Structure 1
Amino acid sequence: MFNVQPLSKQFESEFWSEINNKTKPLGALGQLETLAIQVLNIQSEIHGKLIKPVQINYPHLLVFAGDHGIADYGVSIAPSAVTGQMVNNFAANGAAINVFSKQLGWQLDVIDTGILQPINSISIRRQRLGCGTKPFHIEPAMSHTIMEQGFVFAKALVHEKFNEGCDLIAFGEMGIGNTSSASAIMSAIMELPAVESVGSGTGIDQATLLKKQQLIQQALDHHRIPKENVLDILATYGGFEIVQICGAMLAAAERKIPIVVDGFICTAAAMIAKLIDPNVQDYFIFAHSSGEQGHDKMLQWFDAKPLLNLDMRLGEGTGAALCLPLIQSALAFYNEMASFEQANVVNVVSDI
C-alpha cells in the first residue's frame, strides 16, 4: 500500500561543504547542522537539484483521537469520557497544542478516529473506525480489515495536505489508555516484559501502575505475537489513532515530506512504520525525549538523538510543535549565514 523511496543523498557532500565553510568552527552548530542536512536531502530529492533558499512554508500538524477498550480496566486516572472532552477542547482552541500551533505557525487539524461518542463540530474531521477498540488483554484491539481502513483514511488525508502544499508534517494524539497500547507495542517489538515498557502515563499512582503492568503482561502472554508479525502487533495492541498515525507517517514519507515524531505514542507508531518499510526513518525528525518510561529505549532502538529534552509527557503533538523554530533556524543559517570568503574572515579551520 505504501512505497517509500530511500533518500539518494546525491547532493549531501555539497551541502556539507557549504555548511563547513560558514563563518563558524566545524560542527559548532551541533544538531542544527545535521538537521539542516536531513531537510536539505529531502528537499533536493523532491526537486532533483540543489535549491536555495530552502524553506518550510506550510507546516501541518494532525492530532488523531481515539478511545481504547483497555481504559475500562483501571489503567488510567481518567475515564474514557475525557478523550471526547479533550477533543471538544481542541475544537474550542483551548488545549496546549492549539496554543503552540497558533504561536508557532502550524496548520492544525483534529481527527476523530474512533472516540466513544462522535462530536458534531466542523473543527473535527471524522475518520472513524469504530467507537473505541476492544480490550486487548482479552482479544485483539481490532481486525486487520479495520486496521487497513485506517491506513486508507490516513493516506488520503496526507495526500490531501500534500496537494495543499504541506512541506513539513507532525502528528499528535489524544486517547485515554493509549500509553497502554504504546507500551504493549514496544514490548512486543523489543521483546521486553511490561515492567520495562509501562510508565505512569497521565500520572497514575503505584497501585494503578502495577495493575497496568499486569494487564499488559497478560496481553503479551495471551497473544504471544512474534516480533516479525508487525501488522498483527498493530491490530492486536494498537489504537485507532496509532494506526492512522502509522499510516500517515508512511504516506508522508512516500510523498517525501519530513516527519516530526512526537513522544511515546507517536514513536510507537513510528516503530511499526519502520518495520513495515525501513526507508521511512530517512524522513523522521525525532522531536523530544518524553518523560514517559520507555521512550528513551524506543529512541535507542532507532539510534535517534531527539532535538529536545524537556521532561514533557502531555502528548497532543506538543513536543513536535515546539521543534518548528529549530527546523526553521537550521534552514535559515544554511540560507543566510555568510561564508568565510563572503565575510572576509580568515578560515582558520582550512588553514590548519
Structure 2
Amino acid sequence: MLQSVKEIARSISALDAKAAAAAQLHLDSLTKPPGSLGKLESVAMKLAGITGRVATSFPKSAVVVMAADHGVCAEGISAFPAEVTPQMVRNFLAGGAAVNVLARQAGAEVMCVDIGVDADIEHPDLIAKKIRYGTGNIAVGPAMSREEAEAAILVGFEIVKQAAARGVGCFVTGEMGIGNTTASAALMSAFTGIPARETVGRGTGISEERWRHKVGVVDRALACNRPDPADPIGTLAKLGGLEIAGLTGVILGAAANRCPVVIDGFISSVAALAAQRIAPESAGYMIASHVSQEQGHAQLLSLLGLEPMLHLEMRLGEGTGGVLALHLLDAACRIMAEMATFQGAGVSTSHENAKDGTPENGGNGL
C-alpha cells in the first residue's frame, strides 16, 4: 500500500507511446480524410496512450465531488453564505443538483465526498472523509497544516484506487465549497506568478466592488503566507481548500491507475496544476472538458497544455462540464471500435485532393 504522496508520484509513468501511435495508424485507416474528426481523434489517441489499448471503452465512469468550506469566507468574498456548502452537499446526495442530472444522462456515478465541510452531515451515500471543519482564513494565516494537506491528497487517491478496483475506468473532477474560487485564484497566482487581478474572477457573480475586495484578499493571502511554488504540497497547505487538495489526489490516483481524468472548471484545473507540479507525468492523463467563464481558466489550461473540448460559457463547477464531456469520450471510443476501415468497406484510399474534407464530386468528403 502506498504511504505517501511522493510514492504516488513515483508510481505514475508516461503514456504508452506505442499504443498512441497504433491508434493514429488505425484512425488514418478509417473511412474519412485524415484528421477530419478533429479533437475526437486526438482524444482517441490520448485514451490509447493512457490505457495501452488502441480501442477502449469505459462502461463505468464516476464524478468525484469533493466538498469543503473555506475560512476566507469571513472576508466577505462570496455572493453566497458559507451555509450553502452543506446545503448543496445534501442536494447532491438527494440527486437534485445540476451535476446529478447531467451525470444521469451520461450514465456516470456521482461520488459525494465530505472532506472538510464545516457541518456534520449524515447520509448513507456520503463518503465521509472529513480532515477538519473547513480551512483557516488564508488572508491572515495558512489554510491548513502540511500534514492535513497531504492527508487530503491521500483521501482523493484512495477513493480513486478503490473505485478503479471495482471497475470504474474514467473519472471526472467535481467540487463544492463557497469561497473556493478565492483559494483557487491564490493558488494560481502562487504557482505561476500571475498577479491576483488576472486570476481572480467573479465566482458566484459578485459585483465590481466585491471583486476588487477579493483581489485585495488574495494579495493579502499571498503576502502573509509567502508560498514557495517549488513546494506544491506546502503551497496547497498555505492557500488551498481541502477539496482542492482532495481533487489533486483524485487526479494523481487516476494517473497512477492509468485511467483518464476529465478536468472540470477553474477550481478543478487549479487542482490539476498542483497535481502536475507534484508529478509532471500526471498531465498526460488529464482531459480538459471545457473552458469556463471564470477569469484565468483559459490561461490555466494553456499552462497545463490542455485543449478544452467545449465552449459553453459555463461557470457552475460541481463537475458539470466534465460529465458533459463524457459523451465526447464515448464518441471517440465508438469511432475506434465501430467505424469501418477503407479496406474493410472496399472504399478507395485516394484522398490527396480532399484533405480538407471537401470531395471533388460530392459525397461524404472522402
SS in 1 for 2:351: helix
Aligned to 2:361: none
Give the structure-1-normalised TM-score: 0.96
Alignment of 1:91-110 (within 5 A): 91-110=93-112
Aligned to 2:249: 247
Query: Does 2:27 match 1:15?
Result: no
The CA distance in 2 between the partners of 1:172 and 1:8, in whole Å, is 27
Letter in 1 for 2:39: Q
How far the C-alpha of 1:351 sits from its partner, in A, is 9.1
Aligned to 1:184: 186
How far the C-alpha of 1:192 sits from its partner, in A, is 1.4
Query: Does 2:14 match 1:6?
Result: yes
- Find 1:139's aligned residue among 137, 141, 149: 141
Aligned to 1:40: 48
How far the C-alpha of 1:116 sits from its partner, in A, is 1.1
Aligned to 1:232: 234
Alignment of 1:1-352 (within 5 A): 1=4, 2=8, 3-44=11-52, 50=53, 52=55, 54-349=56-351
Q: Which runs of 5+ in 2 are unaligned?
A: 355-366
State the number of aligned residues: 346
| RMSD after superposition | 1.3
Q: Is 1:291–1:312's contact at 8 Å kept on the other side of the alignment?
A: yes
How far the C-alpha of 1:43 sits from its partner, in A, is 1.8
SS in 2 for 1:322: helix
SS in 1 for 2:330: helix
How far the C-alpha of 1:279 sits from its partner, in A, is 0.3
The CA distance in 1 between the partners of 2:321 and 2:252, in whole Å, is 20
Cα-to-partner distance string for 1:249-268 (whole Å, 9 max, x where unaligned) = 11111011110000000000
The CA distance in 2 between the partners of 1:65 and 1:351, in whole Å, is 54
Q: Is 2:266–2:297's contact at 8 Å kept on the other side of the alignment?
A: yes
The CA distance in 2 between the partners of 1:154 and 1:186, in whole Å, is 20
SS in 2 for 1:348: coil
Q: Is 1:100–1:322's contact at 8 Å kept on the other side of the alignment?
A: yes
Cα-to-partner distance string for 1:53-86 (whole Å, 9 max, x where unaligned) = x211111111000000001211001110000111
How far the C-alpha of 1:170 sits from its partner, in A, is 0.8
SS in 2 for 1:60: strand
The CA distance in 1 between the partners of 2:190 and 2:64, in whole Å, is 26
Task: Indicate the percent of aligned positions where both proteins have the same amino acid.
Answer: 35
How far the C-alpha of 1:104 sits from its partner, in A, is 1.1
Give the structure-2-normalised TM-score: 0.92
The CA distance in 1 between the partners of 2:150 and 2:229, in whole Å, is 19
The CA distance in 1 between the partners of 2:36 and 2:253, in whole Å, is 34
SS in 1 for 2:67: strand
Q: Which runs of 5+ in 1 are unaligned?
A: 45-49
Q: Is 1:72–1:79's contact at 8 Å kept on the other side of the alignment?
A: no
SS in 2 for 1:119: coil
